[in-house]
Structure 1
């Protein structure tokens, strides 16, 4: 039986296409002493992979080599005393159906608090990104106004819900009327705006945020962010999680200068790497898990089935085809 793998075939220019990926087959590897054979179960598909494909984000993906992301896998064979057949583990692993690992970095996961797929989303890096960026950088206080862009996505939907738990009034932006409705019904946002059908985003933000914006959780960058930042209150805080609207740009984007606003409104704009919070992951996951079990937060997943659909799932992120976390089930 052959093992499937997906390698980087071309460095994308603009929107990624199916030809940037290549499906190959190779023998299923044999394990040695201290190693385990893993079978991929779920693969996390995330926008940040675009920068690693083009080489603008390090470490970059190399041409002819497999892509990688956060994966949940099942132990199929073990010659490592720390892992048993049938256990599930999670780590950053190559896009292959079967993999060999020495166990380093693997974290065991169990379907006790939530389904396995949730450990790639709300109980994984996705949920932790929303949790730490909002609480540590956004510093929400009861009564403040929080705006979340890309709010129907994996991180944004969690960030908005945490904002509500902190007592904030929460407004989200999304790209379809269906997602706007989802934000207000399933995720409990106070208001939501379809940025694709709104001719004047600055006016829409002003109407939705009559008292200004205290915190802006930015997942998209571009014109949406320009509109929100124009309405920031003094001492506003802006955690920058992503800039998906610009990831496929082939020319330098033109945008109004923000520096006068930063100076005169005393704004804090801060990006982050989730790896910096690694020592606090267990505490963050425990709190997210508690909120999930208590019904205080919920989540959405878009799950495509089949290893061959990994490129389709990735491209779908930039076409807005995901509701919540995009995952491929193998």
Structure 2
């Protein structure tokens, strides 16, 4: 059965006014069934239901955090699972979406990396995470105005599906998102970064660097031997020269590994000549992790050294730690103390 979530509004299987109605139900109203589309003729709804699917999931479970965020665990139609996180703030609603089942990068600080790679998500599965979250929050998909592709997976290794999903996010009859409000996070795939520059959709780029030198980075990211830091930075510089957009550098601080003052100075040196912002991320613990987080005082010292060298820097404290929803904690698990609420 074909997913309507894979189609752009102009490709929907209706004509004229009906096509616009269908697009509105899918992207503005977030309909989960054709029965909800009460202004479409009953016979048309029945015909659509026979041929098309509106949902990518057979089961959705939600785990609310004490800080107001919610972790969502999705079971796909083939039985595999993925996760996303809803993060409401005072002036915006943000979702963190996945692009894969599991992740092939294998970062030592990340519970998702410990799972290994399951499969790529389709564009429809990426988009339906946002739609499902909106539905269960009782809001329109278009009420969610910030998207970060920072959940499970490496987006640049599933780039065709990610770009298709992004185009539907930006489409004026789709989710109508501003490209400045969509951020794609990568561990650093040079060819993917260059293609992002060529496509120039206006998305924000975040690079999960985590170390300024190859030796340290290979300790943190076992698959980093494929691409040297210099090669990644060459691609980032080309991206910046083409787009002139600021690049965010994500840096998870690990005790005794990548938190030394010399590494802050080396990181500052890498960023010369481009518009960059560094997000320092305190490590979020998970069961079986082989690393420890940097103490708070050393995090502050690392940040101050970067600022002293003229690098715009912030410390990003993750939300949802109590339900395993924080950065690096997604592991396809329900929090042990919770009975999964089936939605």
Greater helix content: 2
The alignment's TM-score, normalised by the length of structure 2, stands at: 0.30
More strand by share: 1
